């Protein structure tokens, strides 16, 4: 069973995408009475139309998440256009600790995928609050940021997404580190197709993409996060061993300890089964360490 905590736009989008991949039955949990039940009913109707043999249940009780293999956590207040992800820190850290208590008591063997912002900090808080092994607690964001970058590359070049390979590391936020040097179109480097000024413009637009979505439609992204969450859940449930940019606990990797940040990881039935260490150049290392310092500073502001 897969549980999604939070029946807002991101949570319900994730539940739909998980259902469409038929990864397992789904429990949708929220504190608002009637909301998860109503969303579950709507999703069940969608499954009936699409011939998806998946059962979706809505609940307000953590007891109903017992037996979950994966718990996706989207609960939290959402970011407004004039807010940074770090502005959300204090309120959402309280919410995450409350959710962690429910998971610890009722799904102690689950793998936990955190989506709540500020992402890397909330994943660290979840790890601390559950007491789970770090490999079982991870954060979603890398696929979203990488997807936004790939969209902007395709928009410029007109090539298939299947031909674009890239990676992102660091904070899910303004200090994220996109890696144009390690981005390829087929087997050729991105620099063979774009000059440096165009690449830099695409990198900057990627960093601002979340705020752009909010400004245009009035609320934060949920279609893209839902798709990315489902891809990560599939890797965990089906043990695909896919390399996915994931907010993971670093314990000496990249020369960093005791912090969660996005790095390429092998995801499988055990959770984060391996952290892949990229060969970064000096400039990339510097940007990555600056990004890690942003996360550390935010962690230091959490009220434990």
Which are the catalytic amino acids? 172
Question: C-alpha distances in angstroms, 289 versus 131, 259, 261?
Answer: 26, 11, 11
Which long-range contacts (C-beta less than 8 Å, at least 24 apart) are formed by 153-159?
153/183, 153/185, 153/190, 153/194, 153/202, 156/194, 156/198, 156/202, 157/185, 157/193, 157/194, 159/185
Q: Which helix (H) or strand (E) holds 185?
A: strand 184-185
Query: Mind spelling out the 3-state secondary structure of 115-133?
Result: CCCCHHHHHHHHHHHHCCC
State phi, psi for 57 to the nearest 5 degrees. Answer: -120, 135
Rounded-to-integer distance, Cα 210 and Cα 6, Å: 20
Contacts of 64 (CB under 8 A, 6+ apart): 27, 29, 57
Report the b/e string of 54-68 with b at 16+ CB within 10 A: bebbbbeebebbeeb
Q: Which helix (H) or strand (E) holds 299?
A: helix 282-300
Q: Which helix (H) or strand (E) holds 207?
A: helix 196-207
Report the b/e string of 119-136 with b at 16+ CB within 10 A: bbbbbbbbbbbbebebbb
């Amino acid at each position: 069973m897969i549980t999604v905590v939070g029946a807002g736009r991101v949570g319900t989008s994730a539940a739909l995408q998980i259902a469409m991949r038929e990864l397992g039955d789904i429990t949708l949990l929220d504190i608002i009475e009637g909301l998860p039940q109503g969303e579950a009913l709507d999703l069940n109707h969608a499954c009936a139309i699409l011939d998806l043999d998946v059962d979706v249940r809505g609940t307000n009780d953590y007891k109903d998440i017992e037996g979950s293999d994966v718990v996706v956590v989207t609960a939290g207040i959402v970011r407004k256009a004039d807010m940074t992800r770090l502005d959300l820190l204090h309120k959402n850290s309280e919410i995450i600790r409350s959710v962690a208590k429910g998971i610890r008591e009722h799904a102690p063997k689950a793998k936990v995928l955190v989506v709540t912002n500020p992402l890397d900090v909330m994943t660290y808080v979840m790890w601390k609050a559950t007491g789970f092994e770090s490999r079982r607690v991870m954060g979603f964001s890398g696929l979203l940021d990488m997807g936004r970058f790939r969209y902007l590359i395709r928009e410029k070049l007109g090539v298939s997404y299947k031909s674009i390979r890239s990676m992102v590391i660091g904070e899910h936020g303004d200090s994220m580190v996109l890696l144009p040097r390690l981005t390829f179109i087929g087997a050729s480097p991105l620099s063979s197709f774009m000059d440096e000024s165009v690449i830099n413009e695409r990198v900057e637009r990627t960093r601002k993409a979340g705020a752009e979505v909010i400004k245009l439609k009035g609320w934060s992204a949920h279609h893209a996060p839902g798709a990315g969450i489902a891809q990560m859940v599939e890797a965990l449930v089906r043990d695909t061993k896919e390399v996915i940019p994931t907010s993971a606990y670093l314990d000496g990797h990249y020369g960093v300890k005791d912090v969660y940040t996005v790095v390429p990881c092998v995801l499988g039935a055990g959770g984060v089964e391996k952290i892949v260490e990229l060969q970064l150049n000096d400039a990339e290392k510097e940007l990555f360490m600056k990004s890690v310092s942003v996360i550390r500073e935010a962690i230091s502001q959490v009220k434990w």
